[in-house]
Structure 1
Amino acid sequence: WDVLDALEEAWIHPKEFFMTSPERFEIALERIEHELNDRLRYFDGTKEAVKRLRLEQRTEYDLEMLREVGHCLAIENYSRHFDGREAGERPYCLLDFFAACARQFHGDPSRFLVIMDESHVTLPQVGGMYHGDRARKENLIEHGFRLPSAADNRPLKLPEFQQLVPQMVYVSATPGERELRHLCEVTGQTVPEGLLHVASKGGAGQADVSKKIQGSPSMYEMLQTIDHLPRMEIRPTGLLDPGIEVRPTEGQVADLLSEINARIERGERTLVTVLTIKFAEEVAAYLSRMGVKAHHLHSEIDTIERTEIINALRLGLIDVIVGINLLREGLDIPEVSLVAIFDADRQGFLRNERSLLQTIGRAARNANGSVLLYADSMSPAMSGAIRQTLERRERQAQDNERRGIVPQTIIKALPQMGQESEGLLEGTTASSRGKRLVARKGGRADPAAPAFLVTNSGTDSEHRISIENSISQLENDEALPLSREALQEVALEVKSAMEDAAKALDFEEAARLRDRLMLINDRLDAAGID
């Protein structure tokens, strides 16, 4: 190599910039104008004046900005013209850069390797990105917000992606059906009957049958028959896969509470998975009333707050998280020694073999890891997940014995919590609609959120619960330490919440709050309070 120059600094353009030559730039502007005129004639023919005006104003403004400053907002929607691509032609991407580097350094554009982590979710997402983007762009184009060429600034289709990848390594603790079929095809193996319903060529081809054949082998059974499947299951830490115990659903919440308390005494944490948002919130609320620092975690909680909750669990501000489908891939919490799965025998997406294995794996970072499956029957998914976990556990135990390794919980640096997270310990954080009801010392965390009341619900620890939870206990707890002023404040809060729910057309919530307000008013009347 010859050194041409030594750079002290370099300007890395943001992704909004599309670098091109002045000649191509002018050609691109002409193509944009030509497409605009065609589209305006289309709206003239359909007599949609509002859409025509909207598109004309937006595009003319973008063209003026491009001519004056060489850039405009959302310039990527014109990328087809700047790239010189035809309608429908795929956009350039990072894989093209990989191929160019391989050609430059090795003389062969196929001399590069793509490693797809968590392939069982990543590969379907690659295929789904195009369709989601297409639906959004079609809506913008139809209503005159964008030119039709905006649809060509898009993710790759799955066949396009697979065509650009010369060599692929799929990495997953729970391989998906597409990857397994792709492996069988590449290595010349017979595709198992249980994989004939999935698309061939890693999702880029066609399936042999329209739906899964009844009575076909389970995922566990297919993994035993497929060759050339490298297994990297031995952990250097010697940690075993967690032990699994199946328990009946009758009295499951009370049984879980005793297990949680045992973990709390040892300074360990617990994850609980359920099937619905409502049940997650109810379980978290119940645990909180029993003196356990619990929080729910589901899709209605924003991403930043999810991170806060998980960090709080690691720091011990929370002892239990009750979730649905978020306690899976990539969630490595060494402090968690117990994972409880409710309704483990249900058939479906959240309780298939792969989902169960991923959830079970959350307890594999702690030397005391264990899993409780609450079920009244043994589903095929449960059977496969248990067998696969026990098989891995046995292989790890044999390796530990051979090497003299004593399993040790992994050590992971504790996160830092911001000031906005201080309220997590202040009380029960189980609330509806994904909004935490937390209070700071000496005041309320959110002026718009209901206040918190300190009560004692029959446990040794005094904790804070939300007004909503306080009201729900009025029928059962006659010893609530509510003064006249506090009870009147609760009534005003509930009345306001009821009116807000009615305005939001959430009549079920409004009716529930109305019933609680009537109960509070009865208590006020009984106490002789106006």
Structure 2
Amino acid sequence: MVVCFYHEDEEMNTSNDPYDLSNSIEIFHSKDMIPFKIEAEFSPAGDQENAIEKIVSQLENSQERCILLGVTGSGKTFAMAHIIERLQIPTLILSHNKTLARQLWQEMSSLFPNNAVEYFVSHYDYYQPEAYVPTRDLYIDKELQMNERIEQERFSTVASLVTRSDVVVVGTVSTIYGLNPPETFLQHHVRIFVGQETEPMEIVKELIDLHYGRVTGSDFQRGDIRLRGEILDIWMPSRDDPLRVKFGFEGIEQIQICESVSFEPLDEIEEAWIHPKEFYITSEDSFERALEEIENDRDEREKWFKSEGKDLEAHRIVTRTDFDLELLRELGTCKGIENYSRHFDGRKIGERPYCLFDFMAACAQSFHGDPEKYLVIMDESHVTLPQLGGMHGGDRSRKSNLIEHGFRLPSAYDNRPLRVDEFQSLIPRMVYVSATPGERELRHLAEVTEQSIPEGLQHVAGGGGAIESNLPKKRSSMLETMEGIDGIVRMEIRPTGLLDPEIEVRSTEGQVQDLLDEINFCI
């Protein structure tokens, strides 16, 4: 993470609503919004058509949570796509791992070839978080290996959400981790268009302010700009193909999208919106204020450690924080800068970080007039929901050791994923999709539809895992529990018409001989 600076007097005039980006993206409202449109050889079949109708009806009737139960092979992904097409609103599809997320992204990309289908997962191929093991007095430094391609796709996701209405994002738990506020990301950009009266160096200066690096030779990479005479090459981090801007006597004459190696023109456009090179941006005034807050926190923490007789921890927090502050002043970054994100964001203690859901809300507000007009689809919800709920606890447990032993300031607690209650409160409408819905989803559906909670779910945390229950667990079959809840939408007949094979349960006694008999029978 590198902190980019801008001047306070360069800020754009925006409304006080953090989700209202209309002033910043006024140019995009002049164009017709692109509708979601599926291109497929087949139409819904089997139980798909009925399931799609029921889910859409529930969502249009303001039902906040729905459950789509689909057996394996019933075409749940195809049904999701048709729900998106019917609702015509930005959609986030959550999966519990990168492999399944990539598969979903490929399928959605083929179904929506003319829409922005984006991929937002962790950009680390390898990540060893900073940790401390008190029992062994062992400090483990942070190690990571970043995937440049995924970093590009994350940029593309954010750029699409602030400039397009037709966005489908496929993501993982990375969506609940911190980002800059959407209005901050969008306020600091450069817009260029054919006929613009400007000089090449003026555009170069603006792009350098957005942290783009200027190069002169052939070593041209994402995040670089290159000026050769009256030709300016720009390679945004979110794009595969760089831009070539040609200037004339009266300003910009031509903007081309070029091939990244040969620079052969691929397309010609009339205007371009160029976003910052870095995700994390702050003003110089905010930066200095953040450094002062960090110094104050350091002094308070040192005083507390000494009052507790922990001189080693007091020395450790002072030396480590001073080292980080020196790097921040000299380079604008330091190792573990994310642990100071609360100070740079201007958030209060305990306040949740900004994340991708804020960008979804901003997209909904700007293009659909309502920050709640977007949809979340949780695929394999019986796995994904518990995973989301566990991220905050694991993160806090690790950081508590670092903070208690003087390796980090308490503000590190606020660089965190969302808690499950924050996650649920941010999402206006969500569809749980699974072949085997979990207890949390079933209870959540019963709660939002004001049904009585079945006895088999009384012990389960309410609100989709947000409200703990102290009641003892009562033995009950999941089939009986689901039969006691109305509104579960089912897809049990496959479009192919294939049925599940018959299952025969046999005794374990004599199982080896039984297996040999079956083999001999087949041979």
TM-score range, shorter chain: 0.3 to 0.5
Q: With the length of structure 2 as denominator, give the TM-score of the two structures.
A: 0.46
How high is the TM-score relative to the length of structure 1?
A: 0.46
Return the structure number with greater strand share: 2
Greater share of residues in helix: 1
Which structure has the greater CA radius of gyration? 1
RCO higher in structure (CA 8 A, sep ≥6)? 2
